[in-house]
Structure 1
Amino acid sequence: MIKIPIFDPSAEVASIHEEVIESLKGVLFSGQFILGQNVKSFEQEVADYLGVKYAFGVNSGTDALVIGLRAAGIDQGDQVITTPFTFFATSEAIHQVGAEPIFVDIDLETYNIDPNKIEEVLTPNTKAILPVHLFGHSSDMDAVQAIADKHDLKIIEDVAQGFGGEYKGQKLGSIGNVGCFSFFPTKNLGTYGDGGLVTTNDEEIARLIKMLRAHGSEKKYHNELFGYNSRLDEMHAAILRVKLPKIDDYNNRRRDIASRYQDGLSHLEEIILPKDHSDVLHVYHQYTIRVLNGKREELKQFLLEKGIGSMVYYPVPLHKLPVYKGENWSFEWSETAADEVLSLPMWPFMSTDIQTEVIEAIKSFFE
């Protein structure tokens, strides 16, 4: 029986439930349920927070990627360079717009795309790079931007796990041509259901995002594109407006928890801990360790027997999934990560006592 889950929202909910209920009451009595005042206000507030000109709420993080790619001009036959060590939605969205994902291996220290390998796979059909800021740690955006500028490529940032994170003082999702966010409940900024966001500083891309999320129409009943029914729900916008002003506090709490994990586990030689880098504000969507010498599953089972949850993100790199059966791809570091990573319990309101129990359990396994 799990007594310490990988993620527990109960304390957060308890701390804000009165504000949330009042906000939801406001939606109910307003009679505006689709693209009402809360969505409009949230879009402005989140744009201001991220430092972008335009932000548009959509139905999910996956829809954010699909719409973001299309609005950036990615189309049938184009190629988009991305990482194979991420959630399936990243490459799925590329396929959904008719393009082809071209995988590049990761930097094993950050779990993000290795920019040094990008130029090796460029072709005349390459139109974009899609870096994923995995586990809350930014990709090397200077290197990605330099390659994009040199070869006239678009950058679509996957920020599903990095809301509030920064690269050299700039918020993730404000650096590339398009930023794509998820508000899934476990995310750093999550609602109590599905939701997503697309950001840009480009006026024309913004116009297309707004059209695509509403059936491809700029003027109602005058559809110009084949779009989607993908709008952030007014209720979820109301919840997110309560949570957005608290996101820096939540992320700082995550960083404090990560620091305690570092202090408690740094002496163990059979695990490798995540690293903070001076030019990155890591917001620790996950605290992910690597377990060496083939002991990952044994440690996971040991923790489970003690009632402590943990998760493997991700046990199968994208290029090894059944949908890519028949492709003869090999990416050494992505496969190594898939065999060794283990994410430990992490949520903003995790108590020191609970975290100490996790740390002591891991120490007892190795010692």
Structure 2
Amino acid sequence: MEKPPSPRPVEGCLIVAIRLPVRIVALVLVVPVRMAWDALVAVGRFLRHSVLRPVGRASLWAAWALLVWPWTMLWRYGLLPLGAGCAWLGRVLVVVPAGWTYRNVLVPLGHGAALVLRAIGAGLGWAYARVLTPVGHALALLLRGVGYVLAALGGGAYAVTAWLVRHLVLVPALWLHRNVLTPLGHGIARLARGLAGLVRVVAAGCGAGLLWLLRVLLVVPASALWRWILAPAGRVLAVVGHEIGAAFGHAWRVAGRISLAVGRFLGTLFRWMFVEPVRWVYRTVLTPVGHAVRDTVLRPAARVARSVGRVVRQTSALARETVRQARADLRRMLFGDSGRTREVSRREPIGRETRTLGSRTTALTKD
């Protein structure tokens, strides 16, 4: 029930002898190229992700800010209001006057011109019906009589001319064609047919000779050259080319594996020589030191700064209140009390003046 394995093509000793050195040479030549190619690919990816994309985004933003946004603002806040103003001016200065002119000037003028033209047309119609039509009928009758006379004279002249042409031209021409030109044309045709056959026979003989000569001088040597030299050389070159292509493909794949292994080795080496020490220093040295500095220096300093800020704010508020009270007392001593009620503080009182549950006054009406 199992299918037999397909037989592999038998390869000759020439192919086996060519394959191994070609693959070795191709591998030696392709490995540096593949490693350089992989390095360029890695550099290109790094540049694309780290340089080209940020530069492209910045360029797009700059292009939008320098090109799109100014034109948008110009269109929105310049051209649109200007267009609306021009449209309003055109309507006020052109459309409305033109409509008034059409409605109050051109329409009455057109109606008057139509009435004048209608009167002129009625006069012309009366002249055509009462004057020109009878005159035309009379001229038509006159011309019809003259035409009948001319037709009778022309028919007689045509009959005489036809008889003369038939007996003086057609009859001699038919006799000349039947008794002279036809036998002469048949003789010329037979002579031309014979000459064409002779030329055909001579051309066929010359063509056969030329074909035989070309076959002997060109076709046979070319066939021998193709059969015994070019075809075997082409087969050998095809085998060599196929093996070289296969060798380069195999070498490219092997070089890819080698390049991948070298890249991983270099990445691991870079990781263990640079990345891991830096991570160890950051994790075991810098992080505890940073936490200690944060807990022992930064947080207490922040608390002290907040306390100092709170004290400064309270002191500033107290100083402003003191200055305000001093100015009020000085104004009262200089100008006296104007009878205005003293400004009541609307804030909640503190101490023993706070609001109680049994009192009938609130904190806002206690004064």
TM-score range, shorter chain: under 0.3
Higher relative contact order (CA 8 A, sep 6+): 2
In proportion to residue count, which structure has more strand?
Answer: 1
Q: What TM-score, normalized to structure 2?
A: 0.12
Max Rg structure = 2
In proportion to residue count, which structure has more helix?
Answer: 2
